[in-house]
Amino acid sequence: MVSAGDFRNGLTVEIEGNVYQIVEFQHVKPGKGAAFVRTKLRNIKNGGVTERTFRPTEKFPQARIERKDMQYMYTDSDMHYFMDLETYEQFALTDEQIGDALKFVKENETVNMLSHNGEVFSIEPPMFVELVITETEPGFAGNTATGATKPATVETGASVNVPLFVNEGDKIQIDTRTGEYLKRV
């Protein structure tokens, strides 16, 4: 059990039958009255964010989130297929379950499958991926005073803003958490 006074960012707790991840928290001690904890909670099943306040002494069970390495195999219409790297068992997930988590993931790459009580609710891609630029406008270095960017499409079909010196066929590194260009490889 975790008390509201011990909340921290990233902690997952069960509240009223739902599993929430704490996005933000703040301990508030008003001039009058009792102290309380103001939180921003994200429902891990549907992604909705809510704000709630708790007394610091309220206790909640900590939710156990399981992470398992899976290989992303392929996509067929609105189904995405994964293989367990230990048992070679295959799983299929829908677009709704995955969201845009596979935006920067190529086939045969390893991802983390997140589940709670055996129910898969999300896919976590690798933090950094290296992808080839398939389409971008030619850029001319030296025509700006600051670090200007241009849109580029990578091999997975996702769009990324890259510096002007990056060309088609270049391999770049992308941070999958923010979708930002990091460097040319």
Give the chain's domains with CATH numbers. 2-60 (2.30.30.30), 66-124 (2.40.50.140), 128-184 (2.40.50.140)
- Long-range pairs, 140-144, Cβ under 8 A, ≥24: 140/164, 141/165
CA distance 144 to 30: 51
DSSP-based three-state secondary structure for 29: coil
Mean pLDDT per block of 10 residues along the chain (185 residues) reads: 85 87 88 89 83 90 87 88 89 80 86 83 85 84 68 89 87 87 87
Predicted confidence at residue 39, as pLDDT, reads 92
